Structure formats: C-alpha cells, structure tokens
Structure 1
Amino acid sequence: MSTEYAFDGKTIQSEFDFPGARRLIETVEAAAKRPSPDDIAEGVKQGLCKLISSRQFQLPDAFLHAEEDHYARRLVYRDPEDAFSIVAMTWGVGQGTPLHDHSGLWCVEGVCHGRIRIEQFAHRESRAGLERFRLEEVMTSEVGGAGCLIPPHEHHRILNDSEDDVAVTLHIYGGEMTRCTIFHPENGDWYRPEVRSLHYDG
C-alpha cells in the first residue's frame, strides 16, 4: 500500500515509513466519511492542524528538496477508492502559482515548513472567453496553519515570499487533482483561462 518514486537514485517509500504517516491517513479517512464537502474539509483541517502543531508526523527529507525552476508536487498518498489524495508541495524562495482553481475538488492546505503567502480571489463574471476575479484576502500562513477551499470558492494564488527559506505545504484533495485551470492576467480584473495538466515530481 505504499507509493514509490525515485529521488537522487534512491527509491522512497513515501507513505508509511515516516513518523505519523498512518495517523495522518487515518485522520483524513475518518473525516472523508462526513456528509458534506464543508464538513469533510473542516474535519481534515482540524486534524491536520493538530498533527502538524504537535509534530506527530514528519515528512522525509526528500520532500524538503526544492526544484530550481518550479515548485515541486510530490505524491504522498492516493486513496485506493479515490476518495482523497495527499500531495506535498515544496516551494523554493520566490516560487509560486498563478491564479488557479482546484478542478471542482475540495482541498485543505497546511504548512509543514517555512511560510507561504495566500491570495484568495472571488469569481465575479464570465464574458467573451474571459473570467473576472476580485482579490478578496491576502494572508500569510506559517507552520501549523491550514485553510480550506470548497467549490465554488476555490480560486487562489500561493507564493513563498521568504527571502531565504524553502516552504513545504501539504495538500489534501477530495480525489486526485490531475489538472486545473490557471488564469492569465489580461486587463485589470479580467483573466484568460487555460486548462493545465498536473504532474508529480520525483
């Protein structure tokens, strides 16, 4: 029941060979049985914050490795019935995402190392192939902090705005997120959408 991938020539068993991995998965499994996406996400968020803050689990050192030209996505766990997946993202200094959605999946994101800047957007309208968004909130999240994204409120940007430290975040999705829509700035509040496939790094 473990996911394997290569890193620096070594094969990593990424699910159950690091402290607290089983507890993390059991926490998400229990929350995933709740009746609504809102209830599920809140249960996952509470459990994740508790696990991170109490240091009851720790990702392998490989997850602290930042890629030079993009933020890294590394699969931690994929539920056999596709109820959820857990992905670790590693952000080098200055690395971030464009404005994007979550392909209709609920998501909980928690900070395991460093800090990140989150810009939350609200979708306002669609016109002539463009989408209009309004920036609603900007926040900084540090170790132990977590937030929920529940469709249709699923649009944001993430940035590691530290000057000298890698950031690592854990993302738990209501399924496996294999693609998303990113939004390119066009004019003011208007953005041009582009569907993009997502891949995992080693």
Structure 2
Amino acid sequence: MACSTSSVTWQELLDGVRESFSTEQVDVDRLRTLMNSYQSQRSDWEQYALFDPHTYTRNLVDAGNGRYNLIILCWDSGQGSSIHDHADSHCFLKVLSGEVKETMYAWPGSGVSPSHSSTPTMEVTGSESVLIDDVAYINNEIGLHRVENPSHTDQAVTLHLYCPPITTCQSFEARTGRSHSCHVTFYSKEGQKVCSSVK
C-alpha cells in the first residue's frame, strides 16, 4: 500500500505497518505519515481497549512476526508511566482517545548510559500535550520520557508502534535517576486478557 496524506482505514493502517516491515530498513518518516493518516474511530479499536482501575494497561494488537509490536495503551484518569527508555526501539505514539501529557527527560549523567551514571537528577527537557490523532516519536538518542493522562475525569487511549518489538526497558526514579530493568508485559493479547498488572 502506498503511503500518502489521504486518510486510511484501521485495516489499511494495520496492513500498511506490516508492509513497511517487508524490508530490513525502517523508514521512520513513512511510518509517521502512515500513523498520521489514520483518523481514530472507537469502533475500530474498542475491542483492544481494556482498562484496569489501578494501573495503565498494554494491550497487544499485532506482534508483527517479531519485527514490531503494535500495542494499545489504556490510561484511566490520572494514570501514568514511569520515566523510561525504549531499549533499541523506535517508538511511535498516536492518541486514539482523550489526550496524554508527554514529559521528556535527559539521560542521567548528561547522556552517559544510566547503568554507569551516579548523577542523582532527572532533568526535564520538555513537555507537551498530545491530542487525539496526534503522533509523537521517541528513541533513546532523543532521550527518556514519561506519559500520563492528565485528566481527573476522562480516560485516554494511545496506539504505540515499537520496532523492533520492545521486551525490556529501563525505568528511572525521578528523585535519584537510579535505573531498574523492567520486563514488558501485556494485559491482553488480541482482545483477550492475559494478566492483571503492568509494571
């Protein structure tokens, strides 16, 4: 499927992402354009949008034959992630419902790998609201981030594309910059609940 600025359906989005990984090279601009081209319709993705009142959830939509993961994250009011990296993955985030706040951070120790850093700070480098149908992008060269639902009343739903698939990441303590390795788990796969919590 040729990627253009015209709108695509949910199925065309899924097919277009899969086609984008038919070669070894990742075309970041093409993937961003493709994700921008989809206009959110709740009926398309609602079956994957499983919430938990105690924590945000990761819901696997497509495992991507080991080349990528397409995941829907569900954020109840006030829920947020830790400060984290993305291993060696590209990460695209598209808001499907509501809005999220993305706060960007520098690596502890002015870019030094966190496992070798003793600097007890997490420097905020920027913050922005990501609104419905907006697409954000990050990788480890850009820095770290935290995502949260700033609303006290409304839920938010985001679509994430990780390539290669993300299986582990580092989370960071806001006050000290100390890092911890985390295994990425799923609350559901293809609409079926598989576990009860997300770390």
2:168 aligned with 1:179, yes or no?
A: yes
Per the TM alignment, residue 186 of structure 1 is displaced from its structure 2 partner at its CA by 3.4
2:181 aligned with 1:195, yes or no?
A: yes
Once residues 71 and 106 of structure 2 are traced to their aligned partners in structure 1, the CA distance between those partners, rounded to angstroms, is 25
2:34 aligned with 1:47, yes or no?
A: yes
Q: Which has the higher contact order (CA 8 A, sep 6+)?
A: 2
Of 145, 148, 152 in structure 2, the residue corresponding to residue 156 of structure 1 is 145
Per the TM alignment, residue 85 of structure 1 is displaced from its structure 2 partner at its CA by 1.1
Once residues 71 and 56 of structure 1 are traced to their aligned partners in structure 2, the CA distance between those partners, rounded to angstroms, is 18
2:50 aligned with 1:59, yes or no?
A: no
1:15 is aligned to none
Of 44, 58, 70 in structure 2, the residue corresponding to residue 73 of structure 1 is 58
Show structure 2 runs of 5+ residues with no match.
1-7, 188-192, 194-199
Show structure 1 runs of 5+ residues with no match.
1-18
Counterpart residue type for residue 84 of structure 1: Y
- Aligned 8 A contact 1:76 1:87 in 2: yes
Judging by fraction of residues, say which structure has more strand: 1
Per the TM alignment, residue 110 of structure 1 is displaced from its structure 2 partner at its CA by 0.3
- Aligned 8 A contact 1:77 1:87 in 2: yes
1:89 is aligned to 73
RMSD value, Cα = 2.5
Once residues 42 and 154 of structure 2 are traced to their aligned partners in structure 1, the CA distance between those partners, rounded to angstroms, is 22
Of 91, 102, 113 in structure 2, the residue corresponding to residue 118 of structure 1 is 102
Relative to structure 1, is the Cα distance of residues 27 and 57 closer, same or farther in structure 2, using a 3 angstrom cutoff? farther
Relative to structure 1, is the Cα distance of residues 200 and 35 closer, same or farther in structure 2, using a 3 angstrom cutoff? closer
Relative to structure 1, is the Cα distance of residues 61 and 184 closer, same or farther in structure 2, using a 3 angstrom cutoff? same
Per the TM alignment, residue 121 of structure 1 is displaced from its structure 2 partner at its CA by 1.6
TM-score after normalising by structure 1: 0.77
**Count, aligned residues:** 176
- Aligned 8 A contact 2:88 2:164 in 1: no
